[in-house]
């Protein structure tokens, strides 16, 4: 991309300039988490919904306790997939689940 700067490279700088780094990071984590959930669970991904990211904790909503257990068993894999985005490396401490209802 000769002469052009990618938007994904500009976003963190703009967020810092306006004091929105935390909010932007949370949105990026949720977006990457949605994709990672689809990558891991495919068609069953509708049972798992990333809700929010705060203080290093990604909270996902699950459709049942069985899905909660599934997320728990695969949380390291989920974190690894999310952190493949170099701007998110090391930001997720853990994944917690919240049962729908």
How far is Cα 48 from Cα 50, in angstroms, rounded to an integer? 7
List the pLDDT tens digit at each of the 101 positions of the chain: 567 877 767 766 676 666 678 888 898 999 999 999 999 999 888 999 999 999 999 999 999 999 999 999 999 999 999 999 888 899 999 999 999 97
In this prediction the pTM is 0.80
Output the pLDDT for position 19: 66
| Token representation of residue 54 | 């705060």
- How, if at all, do strands 57-62 and 94-99 pair? parallel
Output the pLDDT for position 30: 94
How far is Cα 41 from Cα 69, in angstroms, rounded to an integer? 13
CA distances from 76 to 4, 18, 19, 35, 89 (A): 36, 33, 30, 15, 13
Output the pLDDT for position 15: 64
| Structural domains of the chain, ranges and CATH numbers in brackets | 7-99 (3.30.70.2210)
């Amino acid at each position: 991309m000769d002469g052009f700067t990618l938007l994904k490279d500009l976003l963190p700088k703009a967020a810092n300039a306006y004091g929105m780094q935390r909010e932007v990071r949370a949105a990026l984590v949720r977006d990457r988490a949605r994709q990672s959930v689809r990558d891991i669970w495919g068609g069953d991904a509708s049972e798992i919904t990333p809700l929010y990211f705060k203080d290093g904790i990604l909270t996902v909503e699950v459709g049942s306790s069985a899905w909660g257990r599934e997320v728990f068993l695969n949380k390291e894999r989920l974190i690894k997939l999310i952190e493949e985005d170099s701007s998110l490396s090391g930001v997720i401490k853990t994944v917690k689940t919240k049962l729908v209802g």
